[in-house]
């Protein structure tokens, strides 16, 4: 389609700046007739490309210094177009441009892997294979999100597989065995574990140690796949935000907001300004309580429990603030497509300002002491190092990437809601160690308080919801929010009454792949904090299997016991 110079000219009008123009021209040079379409809508440039040229296209652009692998979404569009689709969502940070490479994948056609180019794509490809059966050659395919005993040809996100069929078709092997051996017709399944019934987000790390040094690490996750993306396909558009908000018990509002933004992007819905301000205010409140929660947990792991208690004491004021603004301390339930469902009353504004004043004063006193405790600084400094090059190669996000010297923050790079009305700094540290990631969060609390003060002062009048909006099927939308842990990104392909395809990517998904790099060479006592330093989105980072490479011994111990070795209390 773009095989001659005459037809390349439209690239000038499609590009959003010199960086996107250079990338588009490179793609045109290497793929020519394999480019089926190029369009632009807002900040998103969409390139439809034949599968045969995908590898060459990605090889051509992966070394672009400011290109960021944001997410990969697979979709079963065989009923509409007779193919599966892959949507590679890349970001040009310096230009704030989304670059979506859309690849139609006919049945039985294999796609060449990009995991050796964009390391972040490794899990995305495995997930697309598990859930849709799309095959990637040039790499080893293994299970990622589905259990090992899942039926080989059952791919749950295909449109011809219903939730009811999944329930009938798949029974874990253990259940089948119990039914056979016990001779009973019905078995009540009570999931316990894999570690402890009190922990609701299981994870598993294997640490390979030589003496007290970690020499390698392996992460095994995805033990609970909740199937919410499939569930959303049977829900109405305005029911999904309440499901989305339950993805995370700490920062769920980032998910409901990202989802509604993706739908609004797909359907070109213009949200009232006051609603954009309210969304930004609640998002910053959520960042405050999440960062205070993390600081408390980190200090507890370091054996400084006085700091832990003060962090959570101050956090309580933020929970009160959330209740003032939304009516709930957590799980706010106010995000809807086209706006928000709860306004901020005038008498609430003055209470919010008073709370922020006290919060800022008490937080300053707390961090001045906590960050100067010699034992705390000694345990954080020079441990869990993540080099800048690795952070970039894995397309990491949030305080994790900003602690390694990259100023990636979608509030600035791909601005949304009311963030373009306020001024704020993006804290960046270059050391890449646990202290750098801690200080990023410490500074971000002050920035969030400042953002809240500005937003409250500038809160405009007007409606908080659009009067009406209409659906259009098969429209692509992207919504992203800078969550406390880093960018959350949702991709939506619209249906008539429900999302046709909804893809959620949380920041932990992006950051976890780099944790084994951070663990190599750390003392065993510093491993728990190093894992926690990415603020992983599971609350049960409390057990580990330790494999001693010298003796071959294997033992499982609570992570808290390991961390106390470094504080002289173990």
Mean pLDDT (whole number) for 310-331: 95
pTM: 0.87
Rounded to whole angstroms, what are the CA distances from 140 to 112, 123, 289, 521?
12, 12, 41, 28
Question: Going along 196-333, which residue ranges are E strands?
Answer: 204-210, 213-220
Among residues 412, 74, 416, which one has the least CA distance to residue 260? Answer: 416
pLDDT at residue 91 in the model: 95
Of 371 and 205, the one with more pLDDT = 371
Angle at 227 between CA 223 and CA 233, to 5 degrees: 170
Residue 552 has pLDDT above 80, yes or no: no
pLDDT at residue 1 in the model: 47
The CA distance from 133 to 48, in Å, is: 21
Residue 101 has pLDDT above 50, yes or no: yes
Q: What digits encode the pLDDT tens for the residues 275-291?
A: 999 999 999 999 999 99
pLDDT at residue 212 in the model: 80
CA 165 to centroid of chain Cα atoms: 30
- The enclosing H or E element of 44 equals strand 44-49
Could you count the other beta carbons within 10 Å of the beta carbon of residue 513? 16
Model confidence at 146, in pLDDT bands (50, 70, 90)? Answer: confident
pLDDT at residue 567 in the model: 53
Residue 421 has pLDDT above 80, yes or no: yes
The CA distance from 134 to 126, in Å, is: 9
- What percent of the chain stands above pLDDT 70? 85
Report residue 29 as tokens.
Answer: 């040079």
Lowest mean pLDDT among 177-186, 416-425, 508-517, 533-542: 177-186
Rounded to whole angstroms, what are the CA distances from 466 to 183, 345, 358, 463?
58, 19, 36, 8
Phi, psi (rounded to 5 degrees) for 468: -165, 160
Residue 62 has pLDDT above 50, yes or no: yes
pLDDT at residue 228 in the model: 86
| Mean pLDDT, the chain, integer | 87
pLDDT at residue 150 in the model: 84
Length of the chain equals: 570
């Amino acid at each position: 389609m773009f095989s001659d110079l005459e037809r390349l000219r439209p690239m000038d009008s499609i590009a959003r700046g010199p960086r996107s123009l250079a990338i588009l021209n490179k793609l045109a040079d290497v793929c020519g007739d394999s480019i089926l379409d190029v369009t632009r809508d807002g900040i998103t440039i969409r390139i439809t490309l034949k599968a045969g040229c995908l590898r060459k296209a990605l090889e051509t652009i992966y070394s672009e210094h400011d290109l960021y692998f944001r997410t990969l979404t697979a979709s079963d569009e065989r009923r509409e177009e007779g193919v599966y689709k892959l949507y590679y969502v890349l970001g040009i940070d310096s230009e704030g441009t989304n670059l979506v490479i859309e690849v139609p994948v006919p049945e039985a056609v294999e796609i060449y892997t990009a995991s050796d180019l964009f390391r972040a794509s490794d899990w995305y490809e495995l997930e697309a294979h598990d859930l849709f059966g799309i095959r990637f050659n040039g790499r080893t395919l293994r299970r990622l999100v589905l259990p090992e005993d899942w039926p080989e040809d059952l791919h749950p996100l295909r449109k011809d597989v219903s939730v009811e069929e999944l329930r009938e078709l798949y029974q874990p092997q253990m259940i089948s065995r119990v039914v056979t051996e016990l001779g009973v017709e019905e078995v009540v399944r009570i999931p316990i574990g894999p570690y402890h019934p009190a922990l609701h987000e299981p994870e598993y790390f294997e640490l390979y140690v030589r003496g007290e040094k970690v020499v390698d690490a392996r992460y095994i996750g995805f033990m609970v796949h909740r199937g919410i993306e499939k569930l959303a396909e049977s829900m109405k558009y305005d029911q999904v935000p309440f499901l989305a908000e339950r993805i995370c018990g700490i920062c769920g509002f980032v998910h409901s907001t990202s989802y509604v933004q993706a739908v609004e992007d797909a359907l070109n819905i213009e949200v009232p300004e006051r609603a954009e301000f309210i969304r930004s205010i609640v998002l910053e409140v959520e960042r405050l309580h999440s960062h205070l929660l993390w600081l408390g947990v980190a200090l507890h792991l370091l054996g400084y429990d006085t700091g832990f208690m003060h962090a959570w004491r101050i956090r309580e004021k933020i929970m009160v603030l959330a209740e003032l603004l939304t009516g709930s301390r957590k799980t706010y339930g106010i995000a809807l497509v086209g706006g928000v469902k709860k306004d901020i009353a005038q008498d609430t504004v003055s209470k919010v300002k008073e709370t922020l004043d006290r919060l800022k004063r008490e937080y300053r006193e707390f961090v001045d002491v906590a960050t100067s405790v010699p034992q705390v600084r000694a345990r954080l400094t020079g441990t869990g190092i993540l080099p800048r090059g690795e952070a970039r190669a894995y397309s990491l996000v949030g305080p994790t990437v900003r602690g390694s010297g990259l100023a990636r923050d979608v509030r600035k790079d791909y601005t949304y809601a009311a963030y373009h009305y306020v001024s704020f700094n993006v804290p960046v540290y270059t050391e890449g160690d646990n202290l750098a990631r801690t200080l990023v969060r410490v500074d971000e609390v002050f920035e969030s308080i400042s953002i809240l003060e500005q937003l409250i002062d500038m809160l405009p009048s007007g409606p908080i919801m659009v009067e009406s909006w209409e659906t259009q099927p098969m429209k692509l939308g992207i919504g992203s929010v800078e969550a406390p842990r880093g960018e959350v990104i949702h991709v939506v392909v619209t249906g008539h009454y429900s999302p046709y395809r909804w893809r959620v990517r949380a920041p932990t998904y992006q950051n976890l792949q780099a944790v084994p790099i951070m663990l190599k060479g750390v003392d065993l006592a510093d491993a728990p904090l190093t894992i926690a330093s990415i603020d992983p989105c599971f609350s049960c980072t409390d057990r580990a299997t330790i494999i001693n490479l010298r003796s071959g011994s294997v033992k499982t111990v609570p992570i808290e016991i390991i961390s106390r070795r470094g504080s002289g209390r173990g």
